[in-house]
């Protein structure tokens, strides 16, 4: 699925799923990836990316049951983005139970990171980030 990296990145934006974020607070995939750079060294390691996922899952799991499911989605989000969310859940739901466990989400496929890490060294440096931004802009335009 070619669009999966962008859809997965959209799901990773915990603010969009909490119902508390306004449109200007929602992050695009590139901003989310950049915000994963916890030590602010200009490069995003796979470990930083996974840690950011862990934090996002904690925000997404609104009822704190260890799963992300329909119960965690505000009605407004379900109404506007339900189909996209369903596709992302299906892409990451390895045991096909219709919900995402913390393990499936945090340790699931890292397509966005993998797309950015062109040299496969486990880091997305500034150059790779710029190339990823250009690719994303080309897809939009």
Write down the pTM of the prediction: 0.74
Q: What are 63-96's pLDDT values in tens digits?
A: 999 999 888 888 888 788 878 888 888 888 999 9
As assigned by CATH, the class of the 4-140 domain is mainly alpha
What sign has the CA pseudo-torsion 7, 75, 95, 106?
Answer: positive
pLDDT, position 140 = 82
The Cα 74–Cα 72 span in angstroms is 7
Question: Which whole number is the average pLDDT over 120-130?
Answer: 96
Among candidate residues 3, 28, 5, 30, the one with its CA nearest the CA of residue 15: 28
pLDDT, position 119 = 97
């Amino acid at each position: 699925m070619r669009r999966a990296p962008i859809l997965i990145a959209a799901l990773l934006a915990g603010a969009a799923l909490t119902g508390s974020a306004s449109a200007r607070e929602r992050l695009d995939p590139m901003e989310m990836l950049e915000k994963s750079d916890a030590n602010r060294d200009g490069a995003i390691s796979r470990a930083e990316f996974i840690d950011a996922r862990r934090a996002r899952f904690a925000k997404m799991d609104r009822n704190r049951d260890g799963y992300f499911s329909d119960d965690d989605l505000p009605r407004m989000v379900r109404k506007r983005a339900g189909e996209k969310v369903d596709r992302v859940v299906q892409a990451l739901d390895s045991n096909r139970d219709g919900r995402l466990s913390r393990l499936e989400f945090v340790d699931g496929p890292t397509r966005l990171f993998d797309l950015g890490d062109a040299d496969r060294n486990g880091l997305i440096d500034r150059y790779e980030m710029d190339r990823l931004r250009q690719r994303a802009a080309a897809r939009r335009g």
